[in-house]
Structure 1
Amino acid sequence: MTDNQLAAALGAWRRPDAGLARALADAVGDATLDGRLRVGSRLPAERRAAAALGVSRGTVVAALGILRDEGWVDTRRGSASTLRLPPAATTRIAPSSAIGEHGAIDLRRAVPAAPHASYQRAVLRAAERSGPVLAESGEAGPGLPELRSLLADRYTAEGLATRPEQILITSGARSALALLSAHLRPRAVAVEIPTYADPLAGFRASGTRLVGCRVTADGWDLDQLDGAFRTAAGGMAYLVPDFQNPTGALMPKAARRTVARLAERHRVTVVADETMRDLDLRDAPAPVQRIPGSLLIGSAAKTIWAGLRVGWVRGPAALVGELAHHPLCEPLSAAPTQQLVATELLRDLEPLLRDRRTALRRQRDHLSGLLAGDDRWRFAVPPGGLALWLRLTTERADLVATRARARGLELSAGPSFAADATHAHHLRLPYTPPISTLDRVATVLDLACGHRDPQGAG
């Protein structure tokens, strides 16, 4: 890059709270993370950079030393310094937005960062064998045969015999749900309260009636579930039985059998969202029996990266065939090149999952330890998933979220997860950030909730 390009990318980088070298190093790191400076590009010579930035050569040398120590640049003798991402930025679970590298710590989305090394290797392998795909029309249809076979094999290995023709590839779990909803056209949908917010918005936009049933960290209210299925008779149920979002609850086997009986009795089509299923943080992770007769949707968003827009439907072959001919199938399909990348990653997913589970378990336990024993909130340590579900005992969640925002922490309040706008005293608190960030999150939450009552402390 030229010296003028460097100066333009950094903009107004000086800060009153830091020395010039530290501020310059931070600005280069920030510009690299958000794409203003390209990874792999060579920085200008020190004298030219100093002249363009209006600082001494010594300041540039000192900033390069900081960047080199922190892993942002690679300098070889006789060569220019080359930008790279440090290990801390490429191995962590949380995206940069959830760490506060560009301002506020944004925990409104419970999503992981991409596994840089694994993803980049998968992209290269996919590109090397993309020739046959590039020779086709580019229309996705029901999905690449290789990816459908791979997913079918994964279901079969977990005890659910599946053929490739029972799999339809989409551009994510939300697309899978939207396609199913457009095909089934339910007049009413039974949903958990609380549940993942995005599907609620989709159902509301289509004018579908929502019927709620209560779920907590302790489990599902089966009486309410019966009533919801009865009201939604002939329609659909959208459930997240595996590490439910946002409560983290895991539906017991007996409850799954009850759901299947209720679905048959009331002619309700159960759609089970399995996007959290692989994020099993128990000491001995093991697949749990699925809800008999349910349609399954999954995606790579929570286990790999939300930017990998690949999801799927698993159901009867006849239904999958009908979905493949639906007018919305093509616009809701994943690009064939994305499917190639997903195939490479899913083929050897277990090592990646093992590393992510280990990191998430450590971060979950750390955040839980920081928050334990405080009378201002209650929570259960979830057996899986990405977040704690806090019930505030003295404050409304929207007020706490507003105070936290003023201190640089963005949180989601409970009503956004509830079809009936309840849960005004709940917060979803993702534990995806690294431990140092979780320490800051706990501090801000402490300040946003006001002083702890020593008389009521547990």
Structure 2
Amino acid sequence: MHAGRLAELLGRWSSGSEALYLKLAARLEALIERGEIPADGRLPTERALAAELAVSRNTAVAAYDVLRDHGVVERRRGSGTFVRRPPRPGRGVIAEFNPMFLHLLDPVPDLIDLTCAAPPQPACLPEVVAEAALGDFGIGYHPSGLPALRQAIAGFYAAQGLPTDPGQIVVTSGAQQAISLLTQLFLRPGDAVVVEELTYPGALDAFRGSGARVLGVPLTAEGVSVPGLAEVVAGAKLVYLVPAFQNPTGSVLPSHAARRVVALCESHGVPLVDDQVLADLTLDGPRPAPLARHGGGVISVGSLSKLIWGGVRIGWVRADPRTAADLARLKAVADLGTDVVAQAVGVALFARLDRLRTERQCELRERRDQVVRDLRSALPSWEFRTPPGGQTLWIRLPGVDSRRFAQFALRYGVALLEGTSLAAHESSSEHIRVPFTLPREALSEAVRRLRRAWENYPGANGGELALSGAAAAGDGDGHATFPAERDDEPAGRDSPVPPGREHLR
């Protein structure tokens, strides 16, 4: 197994006060027990793993020694270290998931989590829940969605100059389910799906989980490259884009480019999905128009999760009536319909949408401006631009592997989402995504912790990766170097692919 892939599986192994080698050994043993590291699988060399995790080689050696003492692994002369113990019976290998979701599955006390960008519970929640409880929902099964909510969503699009019939709307349990249902409808194993080279990780997980081939198109300062899209669209079964406050770069696709994108997809008969989840989070200037304004075949995905609150789990798809009917059938098989009380809450939230949207935009604007000031003052070498909307900054760490820095930052109490988690083809290894959704005090503390981590990170100033100071606590090796991956280490799935060139494989 390649060291980079193992680092992804390890997740937040280094949080806590126990010695690093013991924490590393415990997490490795848990992965082996679950079958996520296969029996008889070869582990990375100690040097390779140490380099990937930004620890001393002594830490990796000591962790492997613990595993050997427990009978979990064995060293084979001239071949390396291999897993001996099979996974516990009755368990399959757990499917891959993105590091973005780790905070939900593996919460850590006193950790400032910058991996997920989401708003807090709204103050009006008790009021809207009480209002929702007064409804009459019949037998409660509404695969396409509660009629009142579909009507409210149709009105939401009509207000944007996009006349919509409620029959074009399918309500889903968040935008993630909307993307999953679209994946089921349009993609089969081996089919090509086109995305921006950097995009929403949940979409990448859905597409890869279906067995589809993900084709990444390069991004410009204004969003997806139209010439790049033209190179790959002909052979695709689906195109998925985030043109409004693009996740993670924050770019906005201009109207002239949007028209060309829609025309390209229509001319090749390829369904185009416009993820509009972030479109209402405009902080400077007008709201970007939906792509469906430029063509009737565009499929729009929306959600209340980023604008209001993710706990309600209300998303939707706007599509032509035939596609909407097909999605409703898939939705019925999946769960017979989104929770009807949550949908009633959604109706009450739409009735307050203008006020809630204004409040959310003001809050995000203040927090964005604060974190931009703090970062430019505390970490002047970090490179980023101020986005006109959305809820995150896309930051380049010059000359630094962001995955290794993210491992290091955990020891200072900050969890980061490194760039390759959002990349179609292992690009953006120097980038991190930082949200400005937390309370202002938490954002200030996060910047302080990141500054301390950066000041102590061995490679931050282009120097040799050498562990020292507080970051070495528990290692027992204050100045051990972290060599790069060995040339003879197999690359596996983590081999980098040039952006936008997947179609040449």
TM-score bracket, shorter-length normalisation: 0.7 to 0.9
In structure 1, C-alpha distance between the alignment counterparts of 2:256 and 2:337, rounded to whole Å: 35
Equivalent pair of 2:262/2:291 in contact (CA under 8 Å): no
The C-alpha deviation readout for 1:151-184, integer Å capped at 9, x for no partner, is 1111011100101111111111111111122122
- Which residue among 157, 160, 163 is the counterpart of 2:162? 160
Moved beyond 4 Å, runs of 4+: 327-330
| Matching of residue 322 in structure 1 with residue 330 in structure 2 | no
Q: Structure 1 residues 357, 422: closer, same or farther in 2, change over 3 A?
A: same
Partner of 1:80: none
Deviation for aligned residue 1:289: 4.6
- Which residue among 407, 412, 416 is the counterpart of 2:412? 407
In structure 2, C-alpha distance between the alignment counterparts of 1:215 and 1:159, rounded to whole Å: 28
The C-alpha deviation readout for 1:30-51, integer Å capped at 9, x for no partner, is xxxxxxxxxxxxxxxxxxxxxx
Q: Structure 1 residues 218, 372: closer, same or farther in 2, change over 3 A?
A: farther
The C-alpha deviation readout for 1:296-328, integer Å capped at 9, x for no partner, is 011111111111111111011122122222365
Q: Structure 1 residues 434, 327: closer, same or farther in 2, change over 3 A?
A: closer
Partner of 1:281: 283
* Letter of the 1:184 counterpart: F
Deviation for aligned residue 1:101: 10
Q: Tell me the TM-score normalized by structure 1.
A: 0.72
In structure 2, C-alpha distance between the alignment counterparts of 1:394 and 1:370, rounded to whole Å: 21
Partner of 2:223: 219
Partner of 1:104: 111
Number of corresponding residues: 349
| Matching of residue 362 in structure 1 with residue 362 in structure 2 | no
* Letter of the 1:210 counterpart: V
SS at match of 2:196: strand
In structure 2, C-alpha distance between the alignment counterparts of 1:174 and 1:348, rounded to whole Å: 24
* Letter of the 2:277 counterpart: T
The C-alpha deviation readout for 1:75-111, integer Å capped at 9, x for no partner, is xxxxxxxxxxxxxxxxxxxxx99xx994100111111
Moved more, 367-376 or 154-163: 367-376
Partner of 1:376: 381
Aligned pairs for 1:184-223 (under 5 A) are 184-185=186-187, 187-223=191-227
Equivalent pair of 1:247/1:388 in contact (CA under 8 Å): yes
Deviation for aligned residue 1:222: 1.9
* Letter of the 1:281 counterpart: L
Deviation for aligned residue 1:400: 1.5
* Letter of the 1:285 counterpart: P
Equivalent pair of 1:195/1:246 in contact (CA under 8 Å): yes
Aligned pairs for 1:78-97 (under 5 A) are none
Aligned pairs for 1:422-441 (under 5 A) are 422-441=427-446
SS at match of 2:311: coil
* Letter of the 1:227 counterpart: E
In structure 1, C-alpha distance between the alignment counterparts of 2:349 and 2:266, rounded to whole Å: 37
Deviation for aligned residue 1:380: 1.1
The C-alpha deviation readout for 1:35-69, integer Å capped at 9, x for no partner, is xxxxxxxxxxxxxxxxxxxxxxxxxxxxxxxxxxx
SS at match of 1:372: helix
| Matching of residue 118 in structure 1 with residue 120 in structure 2 | no
- Which residue among 241, 244, 269 is the counterpart of 2:243? 241
Listed as ranges, the gaps of 5+ residues in structure 1 are 1-95, 454-458
Q: Tell me the TM-score normalized by structure 2.
A: 0.66
Aligned pairs for 1:15-54 (under 5 A) are none
RMSD over equivalenced CA pairs, Å:
2.2
Partner of 1:271: 273
In structure 2, C-alpha distance between the alignment counterparts of 1:332 and 1:380, rounded to whole Å: 44
Equivalent pair of 1:106/1:410 in contact (CA under 8 Å): yes
The C-alpha deviation readout for 1:373-414, integer Å capped at 9, x for no partner, is 755321111111111000111311012211211010001000
* Letter of the 2:286 counterpart: P
* Letter of the 1:264 counterpart: E
Q: Structure 1 residues 329, 143: closer, same or farther in 2, change over 3 A?
A: farther
- Which residue among 393, 396, 413 is the counterpart of 1:388? 393
Deviation for aligned residue 1:193: 1.4
Partner of 1:345: 349
Q: Structure 1 residues 214, 329: closer, same or farther in 2, change over 3 A?
A: farther
Which structure exhibits the higher relative contact order, with contacts defined as CA atoms closer than 8 Å and separated by 6 or more residues? 2
The C-alpha deviation readout for 1:219-278, integer Å capped at 9, x for no partner, is 32222121231342xx10111111111111111101111111210222211011111011
Q: Structure 1 residues 414, 287: closer, same or farther in 2, change over 3 A?
A: closer
Percentage of pairs with the same residue: 36
Equivalent pair of 1:122/1:345 in contact (CA under 8 Å): yes
In structure 2, C-alpha distance between the alignment counterparts of 1:329 and 1:184, rounded to whole Å: 16
The C-alpha deviation readout for 1:14-43, integer Å capped at 9, x for no partner, is xxxxxxxxxxxxxxxxxxxxxxxxxxxxxx
In structure 2, C-alpha distance between the alignment counterparts of 1:329 and 1:216, rounded to whole Å: 40
SS at match of 1:268: coil
Deviation for aligned residue 1:361: 0.5
Partner of 1:229: 233
SS at match of 1:412: strand
In structure 1, C-alpha distance between the alignment counterparts of 2:239 and 2:290, rounded to whole Å: 18
In structure 2, C-alpha distance between the alignment counterparts of 1:389 and 1:223, rounded to whole Å: 24
In structure 2, C-alpha distance between the alignment counterparts of 1:239 and 1:353, rounded to whole Å: 23
Aligned pairs for 1:246-265 (under 5 A) are 246-265=248-267
Equivalent pair of 1:222/1:255 in contact (CA under 8 Å): yes
| Matching of residue 151 in structure 1 with residue 182 in structure 2 | no
SS at match of 1:389: strand
In structure 1, C-alpha distance between the alignment counterparts of 2:232 and 2:336, rounded to whole Å: 29
In structure 2, C-alpha distance between the alignment counterparts of 1:216 and 1:174, rounded to whole Å: 26
Partner of 2:426: 421
In structure 1, C-alpha distance between the alignment counterparts of 2:300 and 2:289, rounded to whole Å: 14
Deviation for aligned residue 1:355: 1.0
In structure 2, C-alpha distance between the alignment counterparts of 1:310 and 1:387, rounded to whole Å: 22
